[in-house]
Each structure stands twice: as structure tokens, then as C-alpha cells.
Amino acid sequence: MEKEKELLRLLEKNGRMPAEKIGRLLEMDRQAVEEMLADLEKRNVILGYSAVVDWTKADVPEGVTAMIDVKVQPKRGTGFDETAERIYRFKEVKALYLMSGTYDLSVVIEGATMTEVGQFVSEKLSTLDSVLSTTTHFQLKRYKHDGVVFGDKEDDHRMVVSP
């Protein structure tokens, strides 16, 4: 279990780390690492491998991200789940969370333009039967995402040789 936890932490920091290197770090052979990975994927512990991208530095048109607070009328028997499922199936929805507090669902939308996001909210999200209201917040700047700080890393200020 301990090795499994360590492997997951390593992959969370660097999803591209090859099995051989993971093996070296965790004192396991490559095959054992691959078997552990296969098992974790089968059990849906690892759901995918992705990169954290700073799109502002990539040479591509920048999209917009919005976080939308949604108030929902829960349904008998399924609560919020049925509405949540109808929402997360839209490809524009990047994340969806059930929240406590003044609203029920937090929806993260990515679109090419503000107009596109606006259309999604007004035409698809707001029109769902159980959606009572929406409040849209556009993201202005990313400072930190998924534990990764955007921008320049802290330099290594250490001397070249020290006691």
C-alpha cells in the first residue's frame, strides 16, 4: 500500500515518468511497476494522465474559463445527481462539483470566446428544467492550478559547494 501511495504521488507530479524510473525510485522492478499501474487503472484509481498547461505561453489562441454557480431544484429519489449528469455530459464542462453553501453546483466551463461561454450558459445550462439560477464568473488569471504555480519557478540560490 505504501508503494502504491508513493507511485500515485510521483505520477501526480509527473504523469510522464517512465515505469523504469519509477522502479528505480521505489526499489521495484519495471514489471512490478507496470503491473501496479495496470491494476490502478483497472480499479479506476488512475483515471487519466494529463499535462498542466500554461496556455498564455503557448503559441495558440487563448480560450476563456468561467466558473458558474448553479442553483438547482433537487429531484425526489436522485437529488442533484440527475441534473449533474445532464450537465457534465456537455463537452464544454471541464469540471463539476456539488457544493455546500449559497448555491448547489459549481460548473467549470472552457470555451474559445466569452460569447461561446455566454451562449452555453444561456442556451444549454439555464434552460434545464431543474436549474433555478446561474451566476457566471470569468477567470482573469491563473496563479496556481492543480497544485502547480504558474509563472517562473523559484531559483536555486544555493552555493555550488557547501559543507
Q: Which is nearer to other proteins, 101 or 147 (CB)?
A: 147
Going 47 to 49 to 53 to 55, the CA torsion angle's sign is negative
Listed ranges 4-12, 61-69, 87-95, 133-141: which one lies at the site for other proteins (CB under 8 A): 4-12
Q: Distances in Å between the alpha carbon of 74 and those of 81, 138, 146, 156?
A: 8, 26, 30, 52
Distance in Å, CB of 160 to other proteins, minimum: 4
Indicate whether 89 belongs to the interface with other proteins (CB under 8 A): no
Residues whose CB falls within 8 Å of the CB of residue 150, separated by 6 or more in sequence, listed in order:
54, 142, 143, 144
**Site residues for other proteins, window 136-155 (CB under 8 A)?**
154
Residue 84 and residue 97 in contact, taking contact as beta carbons nearer than 8 Å = no
Taking each helix axis from N to C terminus, what angle separates 30-42 and 19-26, rounded to the nearest 10 degrees? 110
For residue 10, the minimal CB distance to other proteins (Å) is: 8
- 16-35 residues in contact with other proteins (CB under 8 A) are 21, 24-27
Our finding on whether 116 is near other proteins (CB under 8 A) is no
CB of 24 to other proteins, least distance (A): 5
Choices 6-14, 40-48, 50-58, 120-128 (CB under 8 A): range interacting with other proteins: 6-14
- DSSP state at residue 75: B
Judged by beta carbon, residue 3 or residue 124, the one nearer other proteins is 3
* Cβ count within 10 A of residue 46: 17
**Residues within the interface to other proteins (CB under 8 A):** 6, 9-10, 21, 24-27, 154, 156, 158-163
